Amino acid sequence: MAKRKLSKQQQRRISSNQNNRIAKNRSVRDQSENDQWQLDESSTRTARVISHHGRQLFAETEDREKIKCKIRQNLGDIACGDYIVVQQAKNASGDLKNGDSQNVVIAIKERQNLLVKTGFAGAVKPVAANIGQLVIVTALKPKPNPYLIDRYLTAAENLPAKALIIINKVDLLDHETRRITDNLSELYQGMGYRVICSSINQGIGIDEISDALSNTTSILVGLSGVGKSSIVKEILPDEEIKIGETSTATGEGKHTTTVSALYHLKDNGIIIDSPGVRDFTPINNSIDEITHGFKDVRKFYGACKFSNCSHTTEPGCAMKQAVADGELNEQRFKNYLRLIDEFNEK
């Protein structure tokens, strides 16, 4: 007899039942573990997440002791840079497991901000928390992408956090790339952003970058292959940081950092080295957020003839007039409209 084909509704019901059974079994297993181990409230302390691997994470206490932690259920997503509350677990007789403390994350402290990206199927994925400075790394190879830079700047403005732009691999400068570098530096410095040109091979800009990372928590973002991990390695030569080579086939870098990791720098600086992001898109909740992310564009917001101006075909558009008058960079304005179009499509 031929096998009866299930309808889509029946397939969804079967899949839902399977997921519910998996969740129930996991809950029973976790509850069994909770019944076996109790938490010692007197051991409560605060730590900061330095890396996160599945249901386990590594954190650092206030005295810089590195500890391995399990995560209590239903705490939500935890990101590198989060401040967490940790307690030690013991069994019913008061003994610690195998003579060692078993650290359990029981809470996430209130965040200053959270940098997120879109993951598989549009799911929101946390990248890092409590960021003071977003360090946007681009390079002459792969070629700088102004639209990607502007997307990162939008994220920085809305966190909010300072933004630092690094143009790496300037040892590869030729006539064309020098023009690109000069134009980028002039554009973003003119808006008040700090731009540093660097080369690991020639030792250019390293001290300037190190100073810029002091007294704040920074995260390096940018395409794979632009040299994020190489910069961190140069600043922290004693740390074991895996460096990858740029793919000769695509010109893009191979992903070298697989999870975010936190490192200490001089003068109370902290850096979070994030995985290479090939297509990072800020999650904007409104067109107002996009406008806020372009600080040169937002100066003209509300000055158009029509309150619902789309800044495309309407007469009396203050933004288009600013472009015509040279008060607003045309490429930045196009990138702004492109982000709005992408937002509207979603």
- Looking at residue 159, what is its pLDDT? 94
Q: Residue 87: beta bridge partners?
A: 104
Residue type, 56: Q
Backbone angles phi, psi at 162, to 5 degrees: -65, 160
Tens digits of residue pLDDT in 219-235: 988 887 888 888 988 99
Amino acid letter, residue 140 = L
Please report which confidence band the pLDDT of residue 5 belongs to, taking 50, 70 and 90 as the band edges. low
- Looking at residue 185, its pLDDT comes to 96
pLDDT digits (tens, 9 = 90+) for 247-284: 444 344 444 444 667 889 988 999 987 654 444 566 88
Give tens-digit pLDDT for 175-188. 888 999 999 999 99
Residues 232 and 273 sit within 8 Å (Cβ to Cβ): yes
CA atoms within 13 A on the CB side of 260: 29
Q: Is 217 a residue whose pLDDT tops 90?
A: yes
Q: Does the pLDDT of residue 203 top 90, yes or no?
A: yes
Q: Are 216 and 133 in contact (CB under 8 A)?
A: yes
Choose among 157, 161, 265, 160: nearest CA to 213.
265
Q: DSSP string spanning 104-173?
A: EEEEEPPPS-EEEEE-GGG-EEEEEES-SEEEEEEESSSPP-HHHHHHHHHHHHHTT-EEEEEEE-GGG-
- List, as one string, the DSSP characters of 298-339: GGGTT-SSSTT--SSS-TT-HHHHHHHTTSS-HHHHHHHHHH
Q: What are the structural domains of the chain?
A: 20-108 (2.40.50.140), 114-273 (3.40.50.300), 287-345 (1.10.40.50)
Residue 13 C-beta-side C-alpha neighbours within 13 Å: 5
Considering the chain, what percentage of its residues have pLDDT values greater than 90? 51
Q: For 311-337, how does the pLDDT look when each residue is reduced to its tens digit (9 = 90+)?
A: 999 999 999 999 999 999 999 999 999
Cα-flanking dihedrals φ and ψ of residue 36, to 5°? -80, -30
For residue range 21-30, list pLDDT tens digits in order.
544 444 434 4
